[in-house]
Structure formats: C-alpha cells, structure tokens
Structure 1
Amino acid sequence: MNRNSQAKGAENAAKLREWIKVTPLGKVPLNSLGKSAKRPICICLGIPPSTIGTNQALNELFVELDEKLRNRKEEVAEVSENSKNLELSSADLAYVLAELELLRASNARLRHLEGTGVFIPEK
C-alpha cells in the first residue's frame, strides 16, 4: 500500500470509529444474521464497501460493533426474562381489571352497533 492509500484507510477507519461512537446500538442497521450491515454503513459514510476486506482497522471496528450488538441482545433478553417475574400489587391488579371491564363493555357496544346499526351510549 502506498502512503496515500494508507492515509485514506486511516481516514475511513476514523469515520467508522466516530460513527460507532455517536450511533445508538438500536439504530445500527442489521443484516439477516443480526450483525451489523457493513455495506450500507460504509455507503452511508462514503467508504467504498470493497475496502472492508482489505482494511484491517475497519474489520476490527466491525468485529467490536458486532460484539456490542451481541451483548446488547443478551441484555435485552435478560431484561425481558426478568420482567416476566414482576408481581402486581392488589391496587394495580384492581385497576387493570376495572380497565379491562370498561374495554369489554365498549367492545360489546361496538359489536352491537356493527350487528344491528343501533348505538348503545356509554352509561
């Protein structure tokens, strides 16, 4: 590699490094395997996608990004698993059940309207 292409490679790596710093993990485009979509990211940053295979700094940055994405995916799965174990207080449960009854009554009125064309107003 000549000096000009080395400088360009370092510049491309700096662009990607900065993009990774400022982009939330939830906004990173993903491929079908759940890893970062390298080609769209490079195109967005003005980096020729063909340099992904030859620029080791870019490869290392993408490996780090994929590792962060994998860790985030595991954290989200853990949080969702923990949220299944939440208990409702009796006041919360009573509120939810009352809300459910209101929704059921509203649904019944709408089904009656749909079936007969007669609207039953809410009491």
Structure 2
Amino acid sequence: MLTLERVANETMTCGGFTWARSRTNPVTGFMVATPGYEKVIKGWDGSTATIASFVTEHILEVSTSNTLWFGSWMEGGDLYLDISENIADMREALNAGRCRGEISIWDCELGKVVYC
C-alpha cells in the first residue's frame, strides 16, 4: 500500500517519485509536467503534510484521468510537486514539454531526465 511516508522517503532518498491512487507507477512513456500544477517548497524538511495538502487539493484531476500522475522531486534542497502527464511517444512528449515551457521530461523506462 502506498503511503505518504513512502512518497516522502522515496523523494528524499531517490530524488523523486511518481504515483497515482490505485495504479502502478508508469514504466514506459515520458512524464511531462502539466501547466498550472507545480508547487515548490523551499528547504523541505521531509514532512508529509505538504505532500498531503497537494494531493488533497488535486486528487480529482489525477483520479479521473488515466494519463495524469502526481510527481515529486528534489532539486537543491527544495521539493517540487506537480501533476504530470504520461505520454507514450518521445517526440510527442518532447514537443509537449517545449510547448509547456519545461526544461526537461522524465523517461520512465530508462529512469532519466531528457532535456527538451
């Protein structure tokens, strides 16, 4: 069972995490941030309260879609939370990333950043 503690722990130890209720994490395709849903927590202390608040605020968007996921990652001690779309085709995902003003997307299969 997925818990907020696991999300926080995976984010802290692995640098990020992707999840959605009642679904397994994507292992193929590319994660592209959805505009208007990014939240940055400066100097995150590892608490689950911030993650819980973000999930509560956006649970309907993710739970009613087959392509949207919650995402978290760490950068320079800050926590980033967003809603990302899983796009199967790399070319389409890169184009979506560029159109959305993203610096990069996430390759689920290779587990690495791909710069737009």
Higher strand fraction: Structure 1 or Structure 2? 2
Name the TM tier (shorter chain). Answer: under 0.3
The TM-score with structure 1 as length reference comes to 0.22
Which of structures 1 and 2 has the bigger CA Rg? Answer: 1
Higher RCO (Cα < 8 Å, 6 or more apart) = 2
